[in-house]
Amino acid sequence: MCGIVGYTGSRQAVDILLDALKRLEYRGYDSAGIAVCGKGVQIFKDKGEISSLEKSLPRIHGTVGISHTRWATCGKPSKENAHPFADCTGRFALVHNGIIENHRQLRQKLESEGHRFTSETDTEVLVHLLEANFNGDVHSALRESLKEVKGTYAIAVASSDSNEIVAARMENPLVIGLGVGENLVASDVPALLNYTNKILHVMDGETAVISPDSVAIYDESGAEVKRNPSTVTWTIEDAEKGGFEHFMLKEILEGPSSIHNSLLGSLDGVEEGEFLQDVGFKSVKIVACGSSFHAAMIGKYVIENLSHIPTTLELASEYRYSHGTKESPLVILVTQSGETADTLAAAREARRRGCRTLAITNVVGSTITREVDEVFYTRAGPEIGVAATKTFLTQLVALSLLAMRMGFARRQLDHERLRILKAELRSMPRYVEAVIDGAQQIEGSVEMLAGARDAFFIGRNINFPTMLEGALKLKEISYIHAEGYAAGELKHGPLALLDSRTPVVAACIKDHTYDKMLSNVSEVAARDSPVIGIGYEDDMDLRSIVDRFIGIPKVDPIFSPIPITVVLQLLAYHTAKRKGCSIDKPRNLAKSVTVE
Ligand code: F6R
């Protein structure tokens, strides 16, 4: 996720571009840049936040320009990798939000034609393509260039000899703000609200030409599209959260697009070995903290199931004090922030023990990326709410892709099973969308949980850790005491705590543990505990024995933790909201835990 802004009008562009860009800092903040067209195109960019770029800027004159705040996905955060990018002739400046999947092939071709690249980014191919296709008209050149591109984008281009900004969108947000004698284009509405509340939404496949007095939008065939502007009534603060009350809800709803981004380019890597090329390790150890540890626990089931490679788990805070074994497994460190002190210490310890290390993280250039042999990025975009939501889902996707890679390379997974698993992952954004669309199902359950002092979350097999995560989500944001339990363990102690005031949330998926789970649900119900059952949407048996039923789409059981987690996140969110808790910043907790 990155933020882009373009301005064309009669005022000094630099002031407006910086002010508007700051409203998009929630979309990324590792580097920033600006291009203003006056005497040619002048580009200024730097690593760090927008405020540090602002301090270093000279006075730049010009009434047309573009700007960018970056959340690195391809190439570390640095001045060279910051946007905008210029072509070799210095005629164009371009900013981009999204992922160009075929950038390696395009770069090779462009370099062989003589284009010189200055960054490691996927984006830079776009500006060189533009130069190669330019025949006097920037809009046509951009349309031609996009025909060669595979991936997702929101793009804005400014050029030295024109007051027009040309823009394009594919699966990344882009809105145009209509002013008087001036117009803007941006990734999101908050950037525009200081200047106008008249908004035009650009749709997938569309391009736009924006000048001070006119805006034209074109569809994929090049025909002009007529669209009426809408009037936005949000405040800037509301708009930063996409109109939602909390970042946590916004981020839960971003789950489908985060999963989609996580899969982009990586699904093909399973066979081709773009990641984890050498699979010659005998065992795997996964090390993490908190929610990331729950993802790791789910990862163990997936890796052992798909690749038959023995996998062990260790909490990062325990790993460094444990005894190493003679074998040196592949150690996978899971950390969304890449800055958790315990996980960093574990990475160093793993290397000291001679293990190969791989980090799964969401933050490009974070400390862990410098401490390990290989990095797998989850590409969920920035997460602001303290409780991990979309980053957790993408950790599950990453672990599944690694497990598929191990299974395929070790010949435990044949082509047919791999094809089915890939198709299922490709459908995952749709499945999660369906859970979000059906969120009204959870209302009765929210009421049950909000009135409770204690709650249990139970599951078996791969959904035992899913329920640990559900319990953690509820306790951290609603302050209700919640325990996750392997359903088979209830009778070994905790059953003594169950009564009519202690709700139990149970995940019952039709896998080989289903009948046992139904028995556990009956055991719990016999102690008068109200039961919330989560199962496949057509499961009448489960529906008939629980007090509240929440249905999810029929996914392959191995990926069922993903939609079930979304149900649990929504349950925790709405329960905390009902109780009036501070959802985005729960008491005593921080987003990045940098102490051991
Ligand atoms: C819970 C949560 C924490 C983190 C934990 C590890 O919602 O976010 O439990 O998962 O602090 O953080 P990372 O993944 O950044 O290492």
Q: How far is the C-alpha of 368 from the C-alpha of 114, rounded, in Å?
A: 36
Mean pLDDT of the region 251-280: 91
Q: Ligand 1 centre and the CA of 520: distance in Å?
A: 30
pLDDT for residue 397: 98
Which helix (H) or strand (E) element contains residue 295?
helix 290-307
Q: What is the pLDDT of residues 370-400, one digit of tens each?
A: 899 999 999 998 888 889 999 999 999 999 9
Residue of 247, 332, 336, 565 best suited for mutating to test ligand 1, as the one with most atoms within 8 Å of CB = 336
Could you confirm whether 591 is annotated as catalytic? Answer: yes
Find, among 201, 161, 100, 255, the residue nearest to 569 by Cα: 255
Q: Is 345 in the pocket of ligand 1 (CB under 6 A)?
A: no
Q: How far is the C-alpha of 508 from the C-alpha of 460, rounded, in Å?
A: 8
Q: Is 478 in the pocket of ligand 1 (CB under 6 A)?
A: no
- Give buried/exposed letters for 221-257 (b at 16+ CB in 10 A, else e): eeeeeeeeeeebeeeeebbbbbeeebbbbbbbbbbbb
Is 80 exceeded by the pLDDT of residue 437?
A: yes
Residue of 593, 594, 596 best suited for mutating to test ligand 1, as the one with most atoms within 8 Å of CB = 593
Mean pLDDT (the chain) is 93
Task: Label residue 578 left, alpha or beta by phi (over 0 means left) and psi (-120 to 50 means alpha).
Answer: alpha
Is 80 exceeded by the pLDDT of residue 87?
A: yes
Nearest CA to ligand 1 atom 9: 290
Nearest CA to ligand 1 atom 12: 335
Q: Does domain 434-596 have CATH number 3.40.50.10490?
A: yes
Q: How far is the C-alpha of 177 from the C-alpha of 200, rounded, in Å?
A: 6
Neighbours of 479 (CB within 10 A): 15
Q: How confident is the model at residue 159 (pLDDT cuts 50, 70, 90)?
A: very high
Q: What is the pLDDT of residues 297-340, one digit of tens each?
A: 999 999 999 999 999 999 999 998 888 777 779 999 999 999 89
How much of the chain exceeds pLDDT 90, in percent? Answer: 81
Q: DSSP secondary structure string, 27-56?
A: G--SEEEEEEEESEEEEEEEES-HHHHHHH
Find, among 535, 531, 573, the residue nearest to 552 by Cα: 535
Contacting residues for 512 by C-beta, under 8 A, at least 6 apart = 461
Q: Is 367 in the pocket of ligand 1 (CB under 6 A)?
A: no
Q: Is 395 in the pocket of ligand 1 (CB under 6 A)?
A: no
Ligand 1 atom at shortest distance from the alpha carbon of 361: 14
Neighbours of 354 (CB within 10 A): 8
| Cβ atoms 270, 446 nearer than 8 A | no
For the chain, give the longest Cα–Cα distance.
Answer: 79
Q: How far is the C-alpha of 332 from the C-alpha of 359, rounded, in Å?
A: 6
Question: Any idea which of 71-75, 107-111, 332-336, 443-447 has the lowest mean pLDDT?
Answer: 71-75
Could you confirm whether 226 is annotated as catalytic? Answer: no
Find, among 8, 402, 363, 47, the residue nearest to 214 by Cα: 8
Secondary structure, 3-state, 507-568:
EECCCCCHHHHHHHHHHHHHCCCCEEEEEECCCHHHHHHCCEEEEECCCCHHHCHHHHHHHH
Q: Where are the domains of the chain?
A: 3-237, 241-426, 434-596
Nearest CA to ligand 1 atom 7: 387
Q: How far is the C-alpha of 576 from the C-alpha of 225, rounded, in Å?
A: 44
pLDDT for residue 595: 62
Contacting residues for 525 by C-beta, under 8 A, at least 6 apart = 531, 545, 546
Check 79, 109, 198, 591 and give the catalytic one: 591
pLDDT for residue 596: 63
Q: How confident is the model at residue 450 (pLDDT cuts 50, 70, 90)?
A: very high
Q: In what order do the strands lie in the sheet with 40-47?
A: 40-47, 31-38, 64-70, 3-8, 183-186, 175-178, 198-201, 230-231
| Cβ atoms 470, 565 nearer than 8 A | yes
Q: Is 524 in the pocket of ligand 1 (CB under 6 A)?
A: no
Q: Is 470 in the pocket of ligand 1 (CB under 6 A)?
A: no
User: pTM here?
Assistant: 0.80
pLDDT for residue 594: 60
Mean pLDDT of the region 134-163: 95
> Is 110 exposed, middle or buried (CB count within 10 Å of its CB: 0-12, 13-18, 19+)?
buried
Domains 241-426 and 434-596 equal at CATH topology level: yes
pLDDT for residue 190: 85
In 243-343, beta strands by DSSP E = 284-288, 311-315, 330-335
Q: Ligand 1 centre and the CA of 290: distance in Å?
A: 5
Question: Any idea which of 136-145, 226-235, 336-345, 425-434 has the lowest mean pLDDT?
Answer: 226-235
pLDDT for residue 476: 95
Class of domain 3-237: alpha beta
Amino acid symbol at 167? A
Q: How confident is the model at residue 419 (pLDDT cuts 50, 70, 90)?
A: very high
Is 90 exceeded by the pLDDT of residue 587?
A: no
| CATH superfamily ID and name for 241-426 | Glucose-6-phosphate isomerase like protein; domain 1 (3.40.50.10490)
pLDDT for residue 173: 86
Contacting residues for 496 by C-beta, under 8 A, at least 6 apart = none
Q: What is the pLDDT of residues 58-85, one digit of tens each?
A: 989 999 999 999 988 888 889 999 999 9
Nearest CA to ligand 1 atom 5: 290
Ligand 1 atom at shortest distance from the alpha carbon of 342: 16
Find, among 553, 562, 558, the residue nearest to 512 by Cα: 558
* Phi, psi for residue 282 in degrees, rounded to 5: -90, -25
Tokens at residue 10, please? 């009669």
Mean pLDDT of the region 463-477: 98
Q: Ligand 1 centre and the CA of 230: distance in Å?
A: 39
Q: Is 248 in the pocket of ligand 1 (CB under 6 A)?
A: no
